[in-house]
Chains A and B, each alone.
Chain A
Amino acid sequence: MNELWEVLERHLPEFSSGFSVTVRLVAISFVIAMVVGTLVAALRVAPIKWVQRVGGVYVETFRNIPLLVLLFISFAGLRRAGIPVNAWVAGTASLGLYTAAYVAEALRSGVFAVSKGQIEASLSLGLTYRQTLAKIVLPQAFRTVIPHLGSLVIAMIKNSAIIGVSLLAIPDLLKEARIVDSRTFETHEAFFWAAVGYLLLTGMATFGFRYLERRFAIRR
């Protein structure tokens, strides 16, 4: 037990810097995932066939490429092609766009949960398609899918660790733990604290989404 605290105390700078890097990676990716995910979901439920298809292609592309491969393409691939993206842009864009595909699917299911009658009523009252989507459908869709979005965010927090082990070599929490491990051979202790760090983040996400769920519960 003492050993555990000793390792944390001695290597607090590494762990805290890794933790803050992971927080930043997750925060930026989350914004990208929500914004792009919402846009793609809107495409997916548009009344025009080819627009729907564009959204479908996005979802299938980003959902079917493993994140590690996506990271490699967006960093090494683009750089080879002469586009000098930096590791942070490649990392957050990959994680954000990857998660966006899942967010889009979640929202789409939420949209289908809004009864057709409401949409018909809204359109017949003279609201445009865009107004119907923004004022009637999406707010309800968001509410229905809050629990699902919560699991996606938790998955995203854990997926962020892949950025650190990839070619991008961003010193996130897992990477810092591995650096501590490689220097001290205190493997159990180093990974224990990394796990605690991720648990802290996923725990906060869980509580945050529980709060949102209660706050925006649809009272039927």
Chain B
Amino acid sequence: MGKAIAEELGVKPKLIEAVSDNRIPFLEKGTADLILSTMTINKERDTEIDFSEPYYIARGRILVPKGSDIKGLEDLPGKSVCTALGSTYEETLREQAKGADLKLVDTYSECLELIQNEAVDAVSTDDVILTGMITQDKNLQLVGKPLTTEPYGAGIKEGDTQFKAFVDRVLRKYKADGRWAASYQKWVGRYTNVKQEPPTTSLKEALEISG
């Protein structure tokens, strides 16, 4: 998708890796012009940066090793749960799983390492990230009902309405002409066997959903 936007702009994209905690500063300091980093649209972030229209709707889930006695959110208190520092799950878990011992790390690959060597009992974050972990380790599985709905948006520097209008236009085209579906199938669908349509949720609705 980043490539599609760059192509439309007529520039060669330079991809920079960011983690949950530093992507907003990257945008503010001009290190990056656009964030495409599984970033949930929420009001708190919306005061710092601008968002494009939602391009994907992820669901918050819980990942545990097979055979774990954790069956859902209600089993988390008293257990250790890994998620990324600066992600929305920090707050979600603090509110919905009171009494769970949160392990906050910088990257989700650290969560994978921790759950594999049994240093934590569960990992909680977006389904797309967790299914990525399952593709690496078949001994892991998702349990319980989705905890949250996480509409992803592209991050744009606060106040740059012209660039936002441009990105939204490219995204609309991307969703309409089948490129969205192809990309979804390639990265998510073939692992989860779940069919999904491009999201039609508006930015305003997204801000309502995630708060």
Interface residues of A (CB under 8 A from B): 75-76, 79-80, 84, 87, 165, 167, 169, 171, 175, 178-179, 181-183, 185, 187
Contacts and interface: CB of A to CB of B under 8 A. Distances in A.
A186 to B, nearest CB: 11
Given A169-B104, A178-B21, 15 more contacts: A75-B119, A79-B117, A79-B118, A79-B119, A167-B105, A169-B103, A169-B105, A171-B104, A175-B85, A178-B86, A179-B85, A181-B21, A182-B20, A182-B85, A183-B91
Contact of A182 (B90, B118, B119): B90
A76 B85 CA distance: 19
A182 B85 CA distance: 7
B48 A185 contact: yes
Contacts, number: 41
Interface in B113-164: 113-114, 117-119
Interface in B77-125: 82, 85-86, 90-91, 103-106, 110, 113-114, 117-119
A178 B90 CA distance: 12
A181 B85 CA distance: 10
Given A179-B85, A182-B85, A185-B48, A80 B117 contact: yes
Given A76-B113, A169-B105, A187-B25, A178 B85 contact: yes
Interface residues of B, number: 20
Tell me the dominant secondary structure on chain A's binding face. Answer: helix
B90 A167 contact: no
B57 interface: no
B85 A84 contact: no
* Residue among A79, A165, A169 facing the most chain B CB atoms (10 A cut-off): A169
B24 interface: yes
B113 A167 contact: yes
A169 B114 CA distance: 10
Contact of A167 (B21, B86, B114, B118): B114
Counting from the closest, the 6 A-B pairs by CB-CB distance are A182-B86, A79-B117, A169-B103, A169-B105, A182-B21, A80-B117
A165 B24 contact: no
A181 B22 CA distance: 10
Contacts of B105: 167, 169
